Structure 1
């Protein structure tokens, strides 16, 4: 598979860290349906597949990269946009989304920040569970478009999407912060830990983290500040696409 998950993970990690360390301005995108670039929208629709199978959340339809898509097999450098890590439904995000759907009181009537939103599944799950206000954050503007398309797939009005490095900005208070699959690199994990701790003590916000137990997460100091909430057995397709990871868990941050 030319467009392997390992390739996408390493490239997207590098891009994310480069953006964080460069200090360069990132394109802020407040998404509404009319803002979708027609050419880019058509390309994403042509080269992704709408699916709700093989994940922990069959209630949610997502436009993803699957084995039936050309770029699952095509050379990665032929993809004309930024690396589509948003086109994979990562296991931490699956667990987080499942948890929100099963425990709607966590977000019902509350404001939610989905940090590193990717395909937007956790934000969509929060909206389905009755969240009153949602901000999805991802540094990739293409992810902003993908999230908007995924909202429409699920019969939801698109919520605001901010595509800048939120760790370098001042944000207002949210009742709940959710983030999945973000602890894949030690430097990024350190930055997240510091930002989350400062935000928690400023706003007393509830923070939920989804992760399948990657070594970078399990060995990080933040693990001593987490309370285990739920663990899920990953569906077979997700296990196969993630080097045999079998479970994914949801944790609550307690600094």
Structure 2
């Protein structure tokens, strides 16, 4: 992910707020070898599967039983662990792909702000020809590799530079889950996605549970809803006011001439 999301789980809110309130310097994840990061993730996450919209996908995530749910945040050696949470928009997006595999079959797919890599995994399971997972947190790339292994899959190409605003590549499909949590980011995404679509005819799918920053942004009028999913009871209980999560398709032509 690229930054904090709201509304958050009751547990997650307390957890991430503790990280945000510390002024400690973050150790760059590149300062550790990937094998050390893998070991750290393995020892400090739990394999979770059934309590989500995609019970067929296993992921290493933070749960209340994990050490750093209770540990002092200043002991955490990396950037804030947004990759360790399966956000509702990503759940809806991954569920939609698994229910509609033709959407990404034989396509080149970019999972932007990929986090735990669930949508990249779903695209791979659906037969995508080539998948790229992009997240500016390099620890997320290691987590994505480990999550692919959990599901018996070859990992996607993982890129850690910020692709928003870069020259658009020729992806057939771009996936964005839970990326519309900040006005400035939403605006930069709007411009970049429009450029990708007009340059390469890229299809864009967005997963979001209806956060205010998403519903109130002008990009909202350029979207058509493709599906809505009721969140599992456990996810509902952990999130403020969220009962459903939806998938949208971006249509810039809806803005008119």
Matches within 5 A, 1:1-255: 4-5=12-13, 8=16, 37-255=34-252
CA contact (8 A) 2:97 2:122 kept: yes
Q: Over residues 83-126 of structure 1, what are the superposed CA-to-partner deviations in whole Å (9 max), with x where a residue is unaligned?
A: 11000000000000000000000000111000000000001000
Structure 1: distance between partners of 2:39 and 2:169: 35
Distance 1:2 1:180, change over 3 A: closer
Q: Could you say what secondary structure the match of 1:167 adopts?
A: coil
Q: Could you say what secondary structure the match of 1:4 adopts?
A: helix
Q: Could you say what secondary structure the match of 2:109 adopts?
A: strand
Structure 1: distance between partners of 2:193 and 2:154: 28
Distance 1:233 1:10, change over 3 A: farther
For structure 1, the residue ranges without an aligned partner over 5 or more in a row are 13-25, 29-34
Structure 1: distance between partners of 2:103 and 2:227: 13
Higher mean Cα deviation, 163-172 or 129-138?
163-172
Aligned-residue offset at 1:47: 0.3
**TM-score, normalising length: structure 1:** 0.87
Structure 1: distance between partners of 2:202 and 2:29: 26
Q: Over residues 159-201 of structure 1, what are the superposed CA-to-partner deviations in whole Å (9 max), with x where a residue is unaligned?
A: 1000010013224201111100000010111111111111111
Aligned length: 236
**TM-score, normalising length: structure 2:** 0.86
Aligned-residue offset at 1:77: 2.5
Structure 1: distance between partners of 2:83 and 2:94: 15
CA contact (8 A) 1:3 1:75 kept: no
Q: Could you say what secondary structure the match of 2:180 adopts?
A: coil
Superposed structure 1 runs of 4+ greater than 6 Å apart: 9-12
CA contact (8 A) 2:19 2:73 kept: no
Higher mean Cα deviation, 35-44 or 212-221?
35-44
